[in-house]
Structure 1
Amino acid sequence: MFNHKLPSDFPMQTLRKKTSPCKYKNEPGRFLGEGVSFRAKLIGVLEVPEARGDRMCQEALADLKMAIRAAGEHKQRIQVHVAIDGLRLRDDKTGDSLYHHPVHKISFIAQDMTDSRAFGYIFGSPDTGHRFFGIKTDKAASQVVIAMRDLFQVVFELKKKEVEMAKQQLEGKILPMRTHVIPISDPKIPKVKT
């Protein structure tokens, strides 16, 4: 082996992987409209007995993967849209909406312990039953899972504000809002002189 020594006055720099700061973190606006989009494949859908459970999700994901392999079929290419109105799974070729799942009916998210690009979530209610959706992403599944977590936080904060506004209205502290507030700094809107 080579044994090289650097001179003591040699400038040393710590090499770091350059990472751009997450420009979307804590920005609720990113979930408006179509929301944040991810390319993926639908592994499959499976009825599950419970609304929650990591072990159950891992088993469901393994069952779906085995069924796809046994059938010798290709997984359907999809786009996963994480938006304020929920999760939307669209066919990658046609753009048709395959599934739309409102946030309040998604009860559990689990990443695959054996595959960093796979995850799944449980959708449903006690009345209609629960279904597990297995998805394999083009990139790390953690990106989608983190986006979903951020979306849940945004929806929670919006709901909290809505409850607070309703509470204040009941107490008579504020008048009901009947108009939308538009920021004055918006260049598209003409300024009104008073």
Structure 2
Amino acid sequence: MNRAFSRKKDKTWMHTPEALSKHYIPYNAKFLGSTEVEQPKGTEVVRDAVRKLKFARHIKKSEGQKIPKVELQISIYGVKILEPKTKEVQHNCQLHRISFCADDKTDKRIFTFICKDSESNKHLCYVFDSEKCAEEITLTIGQAFNLAYRKFLESGGKDVETRKQIAGLQKRIQDLETENTELKNRVQDLENQLRITQVSTSPLLHKMSAHEQHASQRCSSSFWRSSDGPSPCLNISSITVTPVNSADSRLSLGLLIPPPSKCGLPKPISERSIPRPHVTF
């Protein structure tokens, strides 16, 4: 399992130089993951990395997790790893940081490359699974490396510095896009929590109000209930108050006589049975 960034002079490359220098070559593959390696190159180095990631992927597969699919965009500037549907850049491996690339001759579906991380300066081995294009992808990366090296010689090294600046700006843009996505997700979570809180508190208030209303009715009904007999009924809606000077006024008797009871209340005392007080001078 070994293929470096070189190609015999008697054989031609697969793509035109313009396709890799002005555009990119896309491929679809399954991404097994990346792992840190001790050396920037070597057959045994990538073989150990492949074995390690295959084992980890086997465990995840037994748990029901599928191998994620990615899109590779290969150009003279590097290899981008994107999510196929959203086109979100997951990894941007600059070409001058890639030190080794190989496809597995024992397992023709597997290909790898080693890239030095721009932040941690650690060497990471990226492992992919492609059913039909593993060797072709490896050769395409080798062709991109060959074209980039020629361009470096023609420009006297100035082009490399320009690409580094561009790569730095691209990395900054990627970080900002990631941060923006995280903020959007956080705002969405807060909106969902607020919506759940509103839905959960509204029925509670309604239930409390109904309970209070029921308690009030029980309190008012028990206020007039007698413990010795049937519940009396007090009807005060027919009480009439007449002026003092009216002929029908009974205020001179010193009494306010309620209307006749309809529910078994005792009848009012007749006015003849009430003795009138006598005043003696």
In the alignment, the residues of structure 1 paired with residue 96 and residue 90 of structure 2 have an alpha-carbon distance, to the nearest angstrom, of 19
Higher strand share: 1
Deviation at 1:74, TM superposition (A): 1.3
Is there any run of 5+ residues in structure 2 with no aligned partner, and where?
Answer: 1-10, 160-281
Match of 2:123 in 1: 130
Structure-to-structure mapping, 1:100-179, within 5 angstroms: 100-124=92-116, 128-163=121-156
1:164 offset after TM fit, Å? 8.6
> Aligned in 2, Cα 1:100/1:125: closer, same or farther, shift over 3 Å?
closer
Compare the two structures and name the one with the higher helix fraction: 2
1:152–1:117: structure 2 CA closer, same or farther, 3 Å change rule? same
SS of the residue 2:80 aligns to: strand
1:65 — aligned with what? 54
Larger radius of gyration: 2
CA-CA distance at 1:141 after TM superposition: 0.6
Whole-angstrom CA distance in 2 between matches of 1:67 and 1:25: 34
Residue 165 (structure 1) shift: 9.2
Q: 1:24 to 1:64 in 2, by over 3 A?
A: same
Q: Which runs of 4+ in 1 moved over 2 A?
A: 22-27
Q: Which residue of 1 aligns with 2:87?
A: 95
Distance 1:158 1:69 in 2: 42
2:24 aligned partner: 35
Q: What is the CA distance between 1:140 and its match in structure 2?
A: 2.9
Change in Cα spacing, 1:164 to 1:44, as seen in structure 2 (3 Å) is: closer
* AA at the equivalent of 1:132: C
Cα distance in 2 for partners of 1:155, 1:33 equals 12
Return the alpha-carbon distance in structure 1 between the equivalents of residues 103 and 12 of structure 2: 24
User: What is the deviation of 1:84?
Assistant: 2.0
Unpaired runs of 5+ residues, structure 1, are 1-21, 167-194
CA apart distance, 1:28:
1.3
Q: Secondary structure at the match of 1:55?
A: helix
* TM-fit CA distance, 1:70: 1.1
Higher RCO (C-alpha under 8 Å, 6+ residues apart): 1
TM-score normalised by L of structure 2: 0.48
Letter of the structure 1 residue corresponding to residue 110 of structure 2: A
Question: Following the alignment from structure 1 to structure 2, what is the Cα–Cα distance between the partners of residues 165 and 45?
Answer: 31
CA distance in 1, matches of 2:83, 2:67: 11
Deviates more, 1:48-57 or 1:132-141: 132-141
Verify the 8 A CA contact 1:44 1:134 in the aligned structure 2: yes
Q: Kindly tell me: are residues 68 and 26 of structure 1, through their superposed partners in 2, closer, same or farther at Cα, counting changes over 3 Å?
A: closer
* Greater mean alpha carbon deviation, residues 144-153 or residues 71-80: 71-80
Structure 1 contact 122–131 (Cα < 8 Å) conserved: yes
Residue type of the partner of 2:86? T
**C-alpha separation in 2, matches of 1:78 and 1:125:** 19
1:125 CA displacement: 6.1
Paired amino acid for 2:112: G
The worse-fitting range, judged by mean Cα deviation, of 150-159 and 84-93 is 84-93
CA deviation map 1:76-95 (0-9, x unaligned) = 10011111211001111221
Query: Distance in 1 between the 2:151 and 2:100 partners?
Result: 20
**Aligned-pair identity (%):** 21
1:88–1:52 Cα change, 3 Å: same
- How much does 1:129 deviate? 1.1
